[in-house]
């Protein structure tokens, strides 16, 4: 028995060493490739000129996603031969689908493709992943041990999830280092959950993706030297959507809210954008300057402070996802419910406080203010009567 324990410990040390090598390899490739991609972006004319919606004031190179993608696949192919327990079909689907979205994003960085073409490319990439065997097949019953099979709904729901998350990451790509940092935090959260579940494939993919993001973030954090562009935002969103499905699929008792919480910042910002345009009778496709990072900048926070605040919010969501997963496994369902309710309250109050939906319509805060005023009036009357 002691010999088995020693053997397992040796295996764990070996795997951790491989994961560390994968991370460092991806980091170094990204550090080396990003300056080369920056020169290439200027050479082909893939640049982002400032306008009334942008916060930068000089021409910036895009295509940073190419550096992230090259680092990702490079590190993976360096490390994967040393690991026998990988699900090659799933990885192949992720790599091929990722290549499709990077290609679509790169062309958009240079030629500004129409939204329809970009959407078709994202759907094609999602179909490749689903064909490789990645799908949301079961939904756990919140109060009970049973599960509900999604049957034929599995494929369209998975495609919708992947395309939705892919675009959500793209929507928050508005400040230096924002999408990269938030994606890095989400990747770390998925990594922690994958380690808890012993999912080797997801752990390795998360490790090399995290290294690629970290290497690129060195050049992308404020003041940025290069933007990731659609090639990077779409690729990161695509990877996060796919990896969250893989992590969810491998879990035995886990809430459907876990992958939603992991991607809480981009998904909530997308939801509030849709709600904001509905409240103001505007088309959903109309761009504006009322996203989370815009609202924080309008409150007077600096560029870097705004990004760090959103990092903190992403960490809150990520920590909540890990905690919710743990509670679900321990069957602490009421604790999970309380956690979700508290998080939703914070989300709603925070959204109204910064005016992300409307600068004037704040029903929850007005209701709470009325209650506060009533309480103060009752307290004053009580004092007078005494």
Q: Which of 273, 264, 266 is nearest to 339 (CA)?
A: 264
Binding residues: 170, 230
Q: How far apart are CA 274 and CA 276, in angstroms?
A: 5
Let me know if residue 163 belongs to a domain.
Answer: yes
How many angstroms separate the CA atoms of 186 and 199, rounded? Answer: 17
Peptide bond before residue 47 is cis, with ω within 30 degrees of 0: no
| Cα distance between residue 312 and residue 202, in whole Å | 24
Q: Is residue 3 part of a domain?
A: no
Q: What is the pLDDT of residue 305?
A: 92
- What pLDDT score was predicted for residue 146? 54
Residue that the structure tokens 């969810």 belong to: 248
pLDDT tens-place string over residues 192-229:
988 888 888 999 999 999 999 999 999 999 888 999 98
In a domain, 139, yes or no: yes
Compute the chain's Rg from CA coordinates.
22
Whether the full predicted model's pTM is greater than 0.75, yes or no, is yes
- Numbered residues of the known binding site for Mg(2+): 170, 230
- Give, in degrees to the nearest 5, the angle at Cα 238 between 82 and 214: 60
Nearby residues of 42 by Cβ (< 8 Å), 6 or more positions away: 61
How does pLDDT run across 51-75, given as a tens digit for each residue? 655 565 678 898 999 999 999 999 9
What does the pLDDT look like over 8-36, one tens digit per residue?
A: 455 577 788 989 999 999 999 999 999 99
Residue 369 structural domain: 10-385
pLDDT higher for 355 or 286?
355
Q: Which of 199-203, 319-323, 326-330, 348-352 has the lowest mean pLDDT?
A: 326-330
Decide if 1 is inside a domain. no
| 45 occurs within a structural domain | yes
Length of the chain counted residue by residue: 386
When pLDDT is cut at 50, 70 and 90, the band that residue 6 belongs to is: very low
- Note the pLDDT of residue 237: 93
For residue 27, being part of any structural domain is answered with yes
Span 289-324, pLDDT tens digits: 778 888 888 888 888 999 999 999 999 988 988 888
Residue 4 included in any domain:
no
Which pair of tokens denotes residue 66? 């190419």
Report the domain count for the chain. 1
Which of 159-168, 188-197, 249-258 has the least mean pLDDT? 249-258
Q: Is residue 55 in some structural domain?
A: yes
Q: Which helix (H) or strand (E) holds 125?
A: helix 115-131
DSSP assignment of 320-379 equals HHHHHHHHHHTT-HHHHHHHHHHHHHHHHHHHHHHTSS-SS--HHHHHHHHHHHHHHHHH
Nearest residue to 217 (alpha-carbon basis) of 50, 26, 40: 26
């Amino acid at each position: 028995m002691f010999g088995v324990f020693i053997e397992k410990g040796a295996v764990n040390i070996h795997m951790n060493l491989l994961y560390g090598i994968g991370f460092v390899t991806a980091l170094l490739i990204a550090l080396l490739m990003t300056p080369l991609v920056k020169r290439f972006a200027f050479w082909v004319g893939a640049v982002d000129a400032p306008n009334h919606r942008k916060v930068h004031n000089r021409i910036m190179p895009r295509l940073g996603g190419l550096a992230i993608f090259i680092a990702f696949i490079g590190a993976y192919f360096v490390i994967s031969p040393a690991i026998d327990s990988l699900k090659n079909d799933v990885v192949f689907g992720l790599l091929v689908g990722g290549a499709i979205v990077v290609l679509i994003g790169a062309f958009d960085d240079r030629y500004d493709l129409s939204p329809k073409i970009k959407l078709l490319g994202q759907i094609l990439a999602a179909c490749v992943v689903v064909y490789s065997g990645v799908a949301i097949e079961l939904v756990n019953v919140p109060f009970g041990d049973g599960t509900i099979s999604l049957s034929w709904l599995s494929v369209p729901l998975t495609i919708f999830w992947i395309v939705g998350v892919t675009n959500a990451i793209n929507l928050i790509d508005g400040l230096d280092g924002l999408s990269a940092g938030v994606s890095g935090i989400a990747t770390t959260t998925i990594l922690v959950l994958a380690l808890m579940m012993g999912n080797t494939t997801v752990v390795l993919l998360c490790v090399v993706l995290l290294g690629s993001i970290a290497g690129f973030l060195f050049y992308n954090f404020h003041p940025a030297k290069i933007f990731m562009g659609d090639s990077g935002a779409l690729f990161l969103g695509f990877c996060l959507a796919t990896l969250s499905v893989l992590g969810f699929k491998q879990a035995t008792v886990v809430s459907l809210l876990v992958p939603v919480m992991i991607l809480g910042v981009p998904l909530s910002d997308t939801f509030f954008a849709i709600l904001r345009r509905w409240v103001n009778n505007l088309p959903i496709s109309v761009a504006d300057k009322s996203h989370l990072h815009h609202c924080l900048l309008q409150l007077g926070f600096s560029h870097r402070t705004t990004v760090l605040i959103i990092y903190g919010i992403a960490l809150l969501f990520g920590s909540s996802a890990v905690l919710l997963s743990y509670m679900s496994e321990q069957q602490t369902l009421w604790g999970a419910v309380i956690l979700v309710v508290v998080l939703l309250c914070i989300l709603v109050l925070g959204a109204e406080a910064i005016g992300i939906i409307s600068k004037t319509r704040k029903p929850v805060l007005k209701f709470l203010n009325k209650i506060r005023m009533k309480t103060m009036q009752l307290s004053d009357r009580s004092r007078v009567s005494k």
